């Protein structure tokens, strides 16, 4: 059972890392090949990178990598939050990619403006005559869906994961009766709290009485040594 839990945890974290790496890969590749009219009336072929068509994907992928590191040491409650965040990241990646596929000219405005000098959404759409997507935006959509499903898997299976390593757990103190707590003060008995306060004697001694007793003892010792006579006379 413990081995299955460890495999589940390792598989899930590895999946999160893999999906994030694939999003980075898709973001760095060309997404569209546009045909647009130049200023002289000539036809231009413009290659649009994923960094232009889907600029948010790099930040979302980086967040996924950071999330995978947090999953390795997260407790049950934090793991549920991270699972929900993974779901949101995947949905955002899929939505961004689908939006670019639905409007290639709009997603490629920066590249078209750089190549032709034409700016403005309406003007750019007017000069773009054709748009051919590559496989990379479709891959980004698929990976986004897989990330969302992984987030659901994390939330569904969070109680089946093994407990994090002992070095990530707070120090636990144990009392003789078996009680444990991270705060040693919680394990003290009521009598233990009062022990430090009971340091003064119940009947304090008067210093004057001590001096009188010492004087009387000295006189008695002198009388016993001189047998009641004055040795100086």
Residue 233 or residue 53, greater confidence: 53
According to the model, what pLDDT value does residue 159 have? Answer: 78
According to the model, what pLDDT value does residue 209 have? Answer: 63
Residue 148 pLDDT level (bands cut at 50, 70, 90): very high
108-135 mean pLDDT: 86
Residue 119 pLDDT level (bands cut at 50, 70, 90): confident
Query: What rounded mean pLDDT belongs to the chain?
Result: 80
Q: How deeply is 151 buried, as exposed, middle or buried, from its count of CB atoms within 10 A (0-12, 13-18, 19+)?
A: buried
According to the model, what pLDDT value does residue 43 have? Answer: 81
According to the model, what pLDDT value does residue 19 have? Answer: 95
pLDDT tens, residue by residue, 63-104: 999 999 998 888 888 889 999 999 999 999 999 999 999 999
According to the model, what pLDDT value does residue 121 have? Answer: 81
Cα-Cα-Cα-Cα torsion 62, 138, 43, 114, nearest 10 degrees, comes to: -10
Residue with tokens 């890969």, as numbered in its chain: 25
Nearest to 84 by CA among 5, 153, 15: 153
Among the ranges given (7-16, 18-27, 161-170), the one the predictor scored with the smallest mean pLDDT: 161-170
Residue 228 or residue 86, greater confidence: 86
Q: Where are the domains of the chain?
A: 9-114+133-160
Which structure tokens are listed for 98? 């689908």
């Amino acid at each position: 059972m413990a081995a299955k839990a460890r495999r589940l945890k390792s598989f899930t974290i590895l999946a999160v890392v893999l999906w994030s790496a694939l999003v980075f890969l898709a973001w760095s590749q060309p997404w569209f090949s546009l045909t647009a009219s130049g200023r002289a009336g000539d036809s231009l072929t413009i290659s649009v990178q994923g960094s232009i068509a889907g600029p948010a994907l790099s930040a979302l992928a980086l967040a996924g990598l950071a999330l995978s590191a947090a999953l390795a040491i997260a407790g049950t409650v934090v793991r549920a939050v991270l699972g929900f965040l993974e779901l949101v990241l995947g949905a955002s990646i899929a939505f961004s990619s689908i939006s670019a596929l639905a409007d290639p000219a709009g997603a490629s405005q920066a590249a078209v403006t750089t190549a032709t000098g034409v700016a403005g959404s309406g003007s750019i759409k007017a000069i773009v005559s054709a748009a051919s997507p590559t496989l990379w935006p479709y891959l980004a959509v698929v990976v986004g869906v897989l990330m969302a499903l992984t987030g659901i898997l994390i939330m569904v299976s969070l109680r089946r994961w093994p407990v994090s390593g002992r070095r990530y757990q707070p120090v636990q103190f144990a009392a003789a009766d078996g009680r444990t707590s991270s705060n040693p003060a919680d394990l003290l008995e009521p009598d233990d709290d009062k022990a430090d306060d009971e340091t003064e004697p119940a009947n304090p001694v008067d210093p004057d009485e001590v001096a009188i007793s010492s004087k009387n003892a000295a006189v008695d010792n002198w009388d016993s040594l001189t047998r009641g006579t004055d040795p100086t006379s």
